[in-house]
Amino acid sequence: MDGPSFGEGRDAPAWGGASSTNSHGAMVKTQKNSPDGAVSLSAAGTPPASYSPRAADVIVAAQALIFSILSFSFPDSGVFSAAGLSVSRGAVMGVAILAVGAFAMLIPFVDERRAPGWLSFIRTFYPQAVTGLFFLEAIVLSSMIFDGFSWDWLFARLDAWAFGFQPSREFSRALSSSPFVNELMFGSYFMYYVVMAVTPWIPWFMGRRKEARRMIFALVAFMAIFDLWYVFFRVQGPKYWFGDLHALWYSEFRGGVFVRFFQGLFERATLSGAAFPSSHVAGMTLFTFMAARIDRRLAAAYGVLTALVIAATVYLYAHYAADAVAGLAISLALSPVLLRAYDGAESLAARLVDPDAAAARRRVA
């Protein structure tokens, strides 16, 4: 019986590309026909490994493990009731977050060389869908761990010392009679969420899929750092700390669709505990760095929006001015580091599954 055919030469693997040898003398293969020129390696005569975790997957799984442990440890954060049964909120969230971690560890089985486009999209961008879950759980946990203590007194004093007044009070008090200004501020605050979702998609649809994955890694790592910080350093924000602002609760604002949207949202959602540093300001700064990697004209537009978001976070009395300044400074330092760290982080993720392949990848690169 004839043996299997591996192409024109007896030693040529069926999946094509250039070959080299690893430290054990086994042939490895560089595949060059991926959509973005990504490199994949395997032992001689075999296709690339079917399980390929990325750095973003590892971060999501690790964050899920930490947050599930914390949620189980503080079960008295509320009660979920359904069909006559009452279950501890902490237990439910612990299970839900563990499921997210399990998903992050299972989705690397998706073979993007054979997956339909929609599945490849989900495989890359699913971390965006779970960032909100971690953020909201960080807020709840921050109120449980230190029994409600917060550092607002410090940042309220810092703003008063720096400005001689409270910007979160006086900014909106001076301009809230203008529906145009209100809509501009609330609309800018809303655009943060649009930009967070869309920015990593742009290179994807341009065919630059490695760049899209780089941005997702940076976003996931960025948010994980902030979420863990919020758990252990609780700052509620001016609208919870100052009694007069809490009593107003956005009732003084008149405007259009964005004003009404946030008035309804803030009425239902509890968002105290994640004020310092401002994730809105820090995130917009990160997205501006991302935009600069796509097109400098886009980065200029993002820069304008970042300035508006800085103003909006204080105008909506969601943040102290110190929160906005810290968010900007931290992100200016952290964003370029995370974007540059992508390749090294991917090598570490690959090493978890196949140390030899990871070493060969570094040599080929």
What is the Cβ-side half-sphere exposure of residue 233, based on CA atoms within 13 angstroms?
Answer: 12
Asked whether the predicted pLDDT for residue 42 surpasses 80, the reply is no
Q: What is the mean pLDDT of residues 109-124?
A: 90
Instruction: Give the model confidence (pLDDT) of 212-260 as tens digits.
Output: 999 999 999 999 999 999 999 999 999 999 999 999 889 999 999 999 9
128 in Cβ contact with 80 (< 8 Å): no
Asked whether the predicted pLDDT for residue 33 surpasses 70, the reply is no
Average pLDDT, the chain: 85
Predicted confidence at residue 137, as pLDDT, reads 94
Nearest CA to 189 out of 87, 292, 310 is that of 310
Q: What is the mean pLDDT of residues 112-130?
A: 92
Residue 267 token pair: 């009425």
Rounded distance, CA 269 to CA 265, Å? 6
Asked whether the predicted pLDDT for residue 10 surpasses 50, the reply is no
Q: Which residues contact 252 (CB under 8 A, 6 or more apart)?
A: 172, 176
Per-residue pLDDT band at 351 (split at 50, 70, 90): confident
Residue 225 token pair: 């750092």
Nearest CA to 279 out of 139, 124, 90, 74 is that of 139
Predicted confidence at residue 11, as pLDDT, reads 35
Asked whether the predicted pLDDT for residue 168 surpasses 90, the reply is yes
Percent of the chain's residues with pLDDT above 90: 67
Predicted confidence at residue 266, as pLDDT, reads 86
Q: What is the mean pLDDT of residues 156-176?
A: 95
Rounded distance, CA 237 to CA 226, Å? 16
Predicted confidence at residue 135, as pLDDT, reads 95
Q: What is the mean pLDDT of residues 284-313?
A: 97
Predicted confidence at residue 360, as pLDDT, reads 53
What are the beta bridge partners of residue 226?
Answer: none
Predicted confidence at residue 356, as pLDDT, reads 62
Predicted confidence at residue 199, as pLDDT, reads 97
Stretch among 91-95, 117-121, 346-350, 360-364 having the lowest mean pLDDT: 360-364
Asked whether the predicted pLDDT for residue 40 surpasses 50, the reply is no
What pTM was computed for the model? 0.82
Instruction: Give the model confidence (pLDDT) of 43-92 as tens digits.
Output: 444 444 588 899 999 999 999 999 999 999 988 877 777 777 888 888 89
Instruction: Give the model confidence (pLDDT) of 204-213 as tens digits.
Output: 999 999 999 9
DSSP designation for 147: T
Predicted confidence at residue 154, as pLDDT, reads 96
Instruction: Give the model confidence (pLDDT) of 136-146 as tens digits.
Output: 999 999 998 88
Predicted confidence at residue 330, as pLDDT, reads 97
Predicted confidence at residue 272, as pLDDT, reads 85
42 in Cβ contact with 357 (< 8 Å): yes
Sort 194 into a burial class: Cβ within 10 Å, 0-12 / 13-18 / 19+. Answer: exposed
Residue 341 token pair: 């760290």
Q: What is the mean pLDDT of residues 294-302?
A: 96
Per-residue pLDDT band at 163 (split at 50, 70, 90): very high
